[in-house]
Amino acid sequence: MIRNTRICGLAILLALFTASQAWAQTDDVTPDEEVTVEESEEAPDTEEVEDPDLAQDEEDDAIDGDVEPDDEQPEADDEDPPADEDPPADEEPPADEPDFDEPADDLDVDDDDWPEDWDDDWDDDFEDFGDIDFAPIDEIDDALLDRITPIATFPFLEQGGHLRVRSQFRRNFDLDTGGTSAVLPPVENVFPQDQPADPETNLLSSADLRLRLSPTLHITESLRVHTSVDLLDNVTLGADPRHNFFVPGQPSPDLRLMDSSAGTPSPIHVRAAYGELSTFFGTFRAGRMLNHWGLGIFANDGECLSCDFGDQVDRASWQVRLFDTYLTVAYDMPDAGWAPRQPGFDYGRSTQLGRFDSASQWTFTLFRDTLTRQEREQQARDLVAGNLVYNGGLYFSMRSQNADFLADAIDTGADQPFEDDQGSFIYRGLQNYHFSPWVQFQLQPEPNHHIRLELEGLLTFGSVDNATAGPVGFDTDGSPSNTNCFDDDERDGTCRIGPDGESTDTSILQYGLAMESEFNFGGRTTFGLNGGFASGGDEPNWGYLADPVDQVDFTRFNPDYHVDLILFREVIGTVTNAYYANPYIKSRFLGGGLQRVEARLDAIASRAFDADGTPGQSGWMGLELDGSLAYLDGDSFTAAVDAGVLFPFGALDAREGVDPLNAYGQPGPFGADESARWAWTLQGRLRWDF
């Protein structure tokens, strides 16, 4: 079909060219043309002009059935001559030449039926141009390139983000214990204190909204600027003070436009803003960026459908690809120390006032993953071919901090911010290391079969010479040693002893593991078993109310790594001091193509890692049953209804003499034992991705 089209097109072009030549040779010429011919010294008589190439072209056109070589036509005829018209006697058409009067779709000609010299005419027509050499595009003249390429290809903006609207009903999330849950009871249960408005209230509802914009500006092929901004970040719907009838006076413009009661300090939250430069020896990035690794139990960028936080890191990094493995080296700025915006004078920017109180951190990652479209496509081809696909790597970071400047009493707007009784400089001596191995296996043993197994572990260890809020550098009898603990050459064992002779140092050891699995053996049903654990200690209430030195034993998963709807996500806040097992099953139905309906059922059983670290000082924590029904339109829209019920066990009970985890005011320890009661939730989600 392609060859037929080329020959037909060539025939039409040659017919037009021949007709124009024939018209030029007629006696009816303009005066200007006659003058041009007379002034040409080498112009032959019109009747004697004969171009060999033109004659050959005319003969070729006659063979193709377009025009006879001896006919002069005043106008080009777009219609092909009849198929039964005989070619000139001195030129026989090839025996296998197809009949061009027949529609192209009706031709059934094998490539082997074409003569080897079928395209010689094409070569003859362009022999005057000589050999055509194709030059690389970067060697073509810019003026010529502008004619054939679109103007302003760069810069361009790549859009990204989502709009999310959520609503939820929550019943009894405080567990009716008066303080063993991180969720407070309804205010009607507590206020007024002498006679609560409604002690039986246990059902609350709310709705929130978030618009996330994540555009990327492509300046050139190698320069990019990435951003991520949340507008009205999880703002509570109905929190506009303009609609409060009992607010005295007229709210200010700032309040009317910006205020919310969702606990968000600002309706505009810049999550990421960093530049990127790609070179032949690696990719450089600098700025504030999101941090994610593996399953997200340690570093989580908060991009999941129901995430509310997201890890951000101020970083300068270099990344290079070695074969199919990526190596990243990054310098992080996790804590710049005390850097007031206006320490006596307005410099127009925040300035660092000390060196010892800042923390420094180096991060290294070595991993294999699909970061580009080509890598994702190659992985998909490997899966279809039945090959085992694996991703994974190692995340390592080391952090150090020499001191801590406690400046609570300092007025950053005062003319004299430094006075004798304001602030204190405390030696810390922090050395912290973190390892996080991650591995993912995927396999499609047969078509429509899929297996995924993914694990991420974490290990944090190190030491702190002074985990208290007081000074160090004393002998065991409490006498000062006059040692400058900030000087590496003078530092000794007294830098781990407080004024009362007590030891102030502590070691850090935290570890945990998360596993996810997915099995599909054909059909619309997928099932799996998820599980994991996080280490803990013996401080009650998961160590939340303990001193920093007593919290270092508690491993805390990132709160955006979701296991359930109620216990770990709301009642505790994250996975800590616990084991959990989560079998699940999900099915896809009532749809085809990109539009589909999915249903999922989960069961989550949990037990304490250290029973003394729970409010109820017991082993078993609870059993939760969750379900979800979702409508999805590709990756662009999700509408879901989620429901869950929690049956708490002894670890969530209140125990006499134990301080509550969360309560209004300072009620003191529990006066009597109280059993935790069941809780349930019903939630809705709408999300538009772009």
Tens digit of each residue's pLDDT (9 = 90 or more) over 621-639: 999 999 999 999 988 999 9
Give the per-residue pLDDT at 52. Answer: 46
Give the per-residue pLDDT at 32. Answer: 43
Give the per-residue pLDDT at 259. Answer: 41
Give the per-residue pLDDT at 125. Answer: 52
- Cα-to-chain-centroid distance, residue 46: 74
Helices (H), ranges, 242-298: 253-258
Look up residue 461 and give its two tokens.
Answer: 């260890």
Q: Which parts of the chain sit beneath pLDDT 50?
A: 1-3, 5, 20, 22-55, 59-85, 87, 89-91, 93, 95-107, 109, 126, 129, 253-265, 409-421
Give the per-residue pLDDT at 638. Answer: 95
| CA distance to 132, 187, 237, 247, 253, per residue, from 241 (Å) | 74, 20, 11, 8, 11
DSSP string, 149-166: S-TT-SSEEE--EEEEEE
Look up residue 285 and give its two tokens.
Answer: 């990035």
Give the per-residue pLDDT at 648. Answer: 97
Give the per-residue pLDDT at 8. Answer: 52
Look up residue 511 and give its two tokens.
Answer: 């570890």
Q: End-to-end CA distance of the chain: give it in Å, rounded.
A: 41
Query: Which CATH number applies to 164-207+283-333+358-463+508-689: 2.40.10, 3.30.70, 3.40.50, 2.40.160?
Result: 2.40.160
The secondary element (H helix, E strand) that includes residue 383 is helix 373-384
Mean residue pLDDT of the chain comes to 79
In the DSSP assignment, the letter for residue 172 is S
**Sequence letter at residue 362:** W
Is the distance from CB of 472 to CB of 500 less than 8 angstroms?
no
Q: Do the strands 223-236 and 203-213 form a parallel or antiparallel pair, or are they unpaired?
A: antiparallel
Distance (Å, whole) CA 212 – CA 518: 30
Look up residue 290 and give its two tokens.
Answer: 């999101």
The secondary element (H helix, E strand) that includes residue 143 is helix 142-148
SS3 681: strand
- 86-97: pLDDT as tens digits: 545 444 545 444
Q: Where are the domains of the chain?
A: 2-132, 148-163+208-280, 164-207+283-333+358-463+508-689
Sequence-distant (≥ 6) Cβ neighbours of residue 111 within 8 angstroms:
none
SS3 480: strand
Distance (Å, whole) CA 201 – CA 11: 88
**Residue recorded with tokens 């008589």:** 45
DSSP string, 46-93: GGG---HHHHHHHHHHHHTTS--TT---SS---SPPPTTPPPPTT-PP
In terms of Cβ atoms closer than 10 Å to its own Cβ (0-12, 13-18, 19+), residue 554 is: buried
User: Residues 566, 571, 572, 578: what is their CA dihedral angle, to the nearest 10 degrees?
Assistant: -60
Is the distance from CB of 620 to CB of 604 less than 8 angstroms?
no
Distance (Å, whole) CA 617 – CA 604: 20
